[in-house]
């Protein structure tokens, strides 16, 4: 049950993240907004890491591969944040932009998981991904009209 509560909380926070970017996009330069966002996220993570290290005697493990992949993930989300500020700053509604960004990212991650990471999709997952693809196409087509 706990993983599902965490999934729900993550979904709420990701939704709020996009809403807050949308609301701030007209009031701050895109790159500056992304930098502030990243600093806050870094300090939040650093604070939690320090707390866990000393409160729970957390053992930190890492490898060069882990660090490299974390850096690549950070670079990818940094670009996403800048683009999101730009997209919303140009007047795209969050109710359109966020589903297109998230739906598109689901298509990319599912494709990579299936093609390169050899993850297996059951028939229901295939139907769900095809539904997401259809939804992204319809939403993008409607938004472009």
Cβ count within 10 A of residue 20: 13
The stretch 98-110 carries a mean pLDDT of: 92
The stretch 25-51 carries a mean pLDDT of: 95
Cα 46 to Cα 33, 42, 57, 62, 125, distances in angstroms: 20, 6, 15, 16, 36
The stretch 78-103 carries a mean pLDDT of: 93
pTM (predicted TM-score): 0.84
């Amino acid at each position: 049950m706990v993983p599902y509560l965490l999934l729900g909380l993550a979904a709420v926070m990701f939704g709020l993240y996009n809403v807050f970017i949308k609301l701030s996009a007209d009031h701050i330069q895109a790159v500056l907004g992304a930098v502030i966002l990243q600093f806050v996220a870094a300090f939040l993570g650093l604070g939690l890491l320090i707390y866990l290290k000393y409160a729970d005697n957390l053992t930190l493990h890492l490898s060069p591969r882990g660090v490299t992949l974390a850096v690549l993930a950070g670079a990818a989300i940094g670009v996403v944040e800048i683009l999101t500020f730009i997209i919303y700053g140009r007047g795209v509604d969050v109710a359109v932009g966020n589903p297109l960004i998230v739906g598109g990212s689901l298509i990319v991650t599912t494709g990579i998981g299936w093609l390169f990471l050899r993850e297996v999709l059951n028939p229901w997952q295939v139907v769900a991904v095809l539904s997401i693809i259809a939804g992204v196409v319809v939403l993008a087509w409607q938004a472009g009209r």
